């Protein structure tokens, strides 16, 4: 049972797919660059010091947009911007306010808080291994890390500002213009700002848990008996968690209604697609470092991992779009505890 997943066999297929996708993307970009006379932004010579990602064992190489190769200078700049409240209207909220590194890039709040104490509508998602996400936000409404930058900046309940005004601030700043010049060979711009932050977010890779020791490094003593039992439930028919929390990052990036409610205050994916069949569906989150990212669900409504396991054990609340995989699991108290213990061994050392 356990041996089946020994090498994340799926990765091989996935990395080929990623290669093909990135080749196609490059191809399209090359045509664009070679034919278009008015290439809007000078893309050449901005990768001063190429940065090589430290890919965790068993992970594919993520898809990096051809107009935003990773460089150390861009990453440094992106990191500084990420933790700088200069991005918010009153300079009080930074990206890092809700995505805190010591909390696996979440804030441990039910719903995140923006400027003037304004309360948003959703739980801050983790940014770890976000380089692999095929879309952003709980409902998948944004396609790239670069464009995602606008989301929290524009949102009334988050930073409530305007990216063009941020650029004006950065142009007047004593140190930022030189940092942009170094990283992009141009002054601060919307293009460069979004690229820098995305570069920093792409290097946030992690797979350094006891579970990785157990699975990838063949350290059979890395997990306790209870954790191993929990893993068996996770991957087996009984729990069937692995169905959605699949592969190296413990998500298949699908949208599903997990039966949290019968009637949702937030329609989820349906807000984007307008399809009734997407009502109440949210992206399947990664489970890596899940111990550190309480509370859980898109609205932070479940406080602990025990609550989460209990929710799935009950089979959730009925609705037309509830995923057919969500059904009563009939786990014993001990089995639920084993599952919680397993989830905690996904925490990085």
Partner 1 sequence: MFKKNIKSAYIILAARAIVSCKKSTDTQPTPTPASQTQDLSLNMTSVADNNSINYTSIFTTDAGARYTITGFRYYVSNIRLVKQDGTEYPIANKYLLVNPAVASYDLGQVPVGNYKGIRFNVGVDSVTNHKDPTIYPSTNPLAIQSPGIHWDWNSGYIFLMFEGTCDTTAGNTDVLNMMGGFNHDLFFHIGMDMLYTPVDLSNSSFTINSSSAATLKIQANLNKLFTSVNIKTENESHTMGSVPLATKVAGNIPTMFSILP
Q: What helix, strand, coil percent values describe the chain, rounded to 5? A: 45, 5, 50
Nearer to partner 1 (CB atom), residue 216 or residue 270: 270
CA torsion sign for 232, 233, 239, 241 is negative
- Beta carbons within 10 angstroms of residue 107's beta carbon: 18
Nearer to partner 1 (CB atom), residue 122 or residue 210: 122
CA torsion sign for 215, 218, 222, 224 is positive
If one asks whether residue 137 binds partner 1 (CB under 8 A), the answer comes out as yes
> In 242-256, which positions are buried (b, 16+ CB within 10 angstroms) versus exposed (e)?
bebbbbbbbbebebb
Site for partner 1 in 256-315 (CB under 8 A): 267, 271-272, 274
If one asks whether residue 165 binds partner 1 (CB under 8 A), the answer comes out as yes
Site for partner 1 in 19-38 (CB under 8 A): 23, 26-27, 30-31, 34-35
Q: In whole angstroms, what is the distance from residue 95 CA to residue 203 CA?
A: 16
Q: Which of 190, 222, 232, 306 binds partner 1 (CB under 8 A)?
A: 190
Coil, strand or helix: which one is 66?
coil
Q: Which of 10, 47, 48, 189 binds partner 1 (CB under 8 A)?
A: 189
- In the complex, least distance from residue 211 CB atom to partner 1, rounded to whole angstroms: 29
- In the complex, least distance from residue 58 CB atom to partner 1, rounded to whole angstroms: 18
If one asks whether residue 330 binds partner 1 (CB under 8 A), the answer comes out as no
Q: In whole angstroms, what is the distance from residue 212 CA to residue 223 CA?
A: 10
Q: Where are the beta strands (DSSP E) in 270-310?
A: 282-283
Stretch that binds partner 1, among 53-61, 85-93, 135-143, 222-230 (CB under 8 A): 135-143
| Helices first, then strands: H and E counts in the chain | 13, 2
Nearer to partner 1 (CB atom), residue 91 or residue 144: 144
- Residue count at the site for partner 1 (CB under 8 A)? 37
Q: Which residues of this protein are in contact with partner 1, per CB under 8 A?
A: 23, 26-27, 30-31, 34-35, 40-41, 67, 137, 139, 141-144, 146-148, 150-151, 153-155, 162-165, 189-191, 194-195, 267, 271-272, 274
């Amino acid at each position: 049972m356990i041996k089946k997943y020994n090498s994340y066999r799926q990765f091989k297929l996935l990395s080929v797919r990623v290669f093909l996708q990135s080749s196609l993307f490059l191809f399209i970009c090359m045509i664009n660059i070679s034919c278009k006379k008015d290439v809007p932004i000078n893309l050449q010579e901005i990768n001063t010091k190429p940065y090589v990602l430290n890919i965790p064992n068993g992970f594919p190489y993520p898809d990096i947009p051809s107009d935003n190769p990773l460089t150390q200078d861009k990453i440094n700049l992106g990191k500084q911007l990420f933790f700088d409240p200069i991005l918010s209207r009153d300079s009080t909220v930074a990206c890092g306010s809700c995505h805190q590194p010591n909390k696996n890039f979440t804030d441990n709040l039910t719903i995140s808080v923006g400027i003037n104490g304004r309360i948003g509508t959703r739980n801050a998602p983790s940014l770890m291994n976000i380089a692999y996400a095929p879309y952003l936000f709980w409902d998948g409404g944004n396609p790239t890390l670069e464009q995602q930058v606008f989301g929290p900046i524009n949102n009334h309940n988050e930073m409530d500002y305007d990216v063009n005004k941020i650029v004006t601030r950065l142009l007047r700043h004593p140190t930022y213009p030189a940092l942009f010049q170094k990283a992009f060979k141009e002054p601060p711009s919307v293009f460069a700002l979004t690229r820098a932050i995305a570069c920093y977010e792409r290097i946030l890779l992690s797979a350094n848990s006891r579970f990785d020791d157990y699975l990838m490094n063949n350290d059979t003593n890395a997990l306790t008996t209870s954790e191993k039992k929990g893993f068996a439930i996770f991957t087996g028919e009984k729990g069937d968690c692995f169905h959605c929390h699949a592969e190296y990052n413990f998500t298949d990036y699908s949208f599903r209604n997990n039966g949290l409610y019968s009637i949702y205050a937030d329609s989820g994916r349906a807000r984007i697609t307008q399809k009734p069949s997407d009502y109440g569906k949210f992206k399947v989150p990664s489970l890596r470092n899940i111990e550190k990212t309480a509370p859980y669900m898109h609205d932070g409504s479940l406080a602990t991992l025990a609550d989460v396991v209990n929710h799935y054990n009950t089979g959730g609340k009925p609705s037309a779009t509830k995923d057919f995989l969500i059904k009563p699991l009939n786990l014993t108290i001990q089995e639920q505890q084993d599952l919680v213990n397993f989830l905690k061994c996904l925490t990085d050392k």
